[in-house]
Structure 1
Amino acid sequence: MKATVSWQQALTFSGKTESGFSQTLDGNGETLSPMETVLLAVGACSSIDVVDILKKRRLTIHDCQCELEADRAEEPPRVFTKIHAHYIVSGDNLKEKDVDRAVSLSAEKYCSVMLMLKGNVVITTSYTIVD
């Protein structure tokens, strides 16, 4: 995997991936910050796992949202100290054991973003099932 980050102006940068996608990142709050993209990556990566695991169990999923809340260190380098991911999953006849298992497998085995942060960030999860 390759990517290029190019300075645009002030503290604004443009990132482009090898696959051709691009994203503007900013250190002044004008667009997504690099830390916000890390937080979004946690939610997206783990949500992909949750949906994929449930679909592989042949369950019907209508929606999956991941609400994220993170705490950061007060002093530089202001890393994340805690991240909580709360999944809101809706589908047909979803059982708590299935959603619990999907969330656990993502956090403990499959989500590369969460696992990359493991040991440096306290990551917790929860979920709500909506019929």
Structure 2
Amino acid sequence: MQAEVTWVDGLKFIGQSASGHSIVMDGSGGKTAPSPMEMVLMAAGSCSSVDVVDGLKSAGQRVTDCRAKLTTERRDTAPRLFTQIHIHFQVSGEALDPAIVSKVTTDSLEKYCSVCLMLGQGVEMRHSWEIIAADTDNC
């Protein structure tokens, strides 16, 4: 895997992936784009969400929505590393089995999500989940 990050101006950078996708990052506290630390957090959320949705579908669950809400604790002094990341999954679907939701969310953080597994080498990773009733008015 390869990527390139190019300085634009101030503390703004553009990152480009080898697959040709680009994203703007802002090192000045996220004033004009996500900060690099916000990008790390979103990477953990998206990576684990892929596992959750895929795991639920593979288990025959009819998942219709998945949200990962992430919160962190950071060191007070520089470098302001994450010390803890908590991912709260909110999943919706038709007759979702709580035991399966529990298993796939746990498996994501403990077995499959490469971003979370990598972060977990130096950060306390926690998760929780809930099943949110599907909005049947829009079906």
Q: TM-score range by the shorter chain?
A: over 0.9
- Runs of 4+ off more than 3 Å: none
> Secondary structure of the residue that 1:61 maps to in structure 2?
strand
| Higher mean displacement: 47-56 or 26-35 | 26-35
1:77 Cα shift? Answer: 1.1
1:58 Cα shift? Answer: 1.3
AA in 1 matched with 2:104? A
What's 1:14 paired with?
14
What's 1:125 paired with?
127
Instruction: Kindly report which structure 2 residues correspond to 1:59-78, keeping only aligned pairs within 5 A, or say none.
Output: 59-78=61-80
What's 1:115 paired with?
117
- Structure 2: give runs of 5+ residues left out of the alignment: 134-139
Q: What is the TM-score normalised by the length of structure 1? A: 0.97
1:55 Cα shift? Answer: 0.3
Instruction: Kindly report which structure 2 residues correspond to 1:66-105, keeping only aligned pairs within 5 A, or say none.
Output: 66-105=68-107
- Structure 1: give runs of 5+ residues left out of the alignment: none
AA in 2 matched with 1:69? T
Q: What is the TM-score normalised by the length of structure 2? A: 0.92
Distance 2:132 2:62 in 1: 12
What's 2:2 paired with?
2
1:119 Cα shift? Answer: 2.7
Distance 2:64 2:17 in 1: 30
Identity across the alignment (%): 45
Distance 1:94 1:111 in 2: 22
Cα-Cα RMSD: 0.7
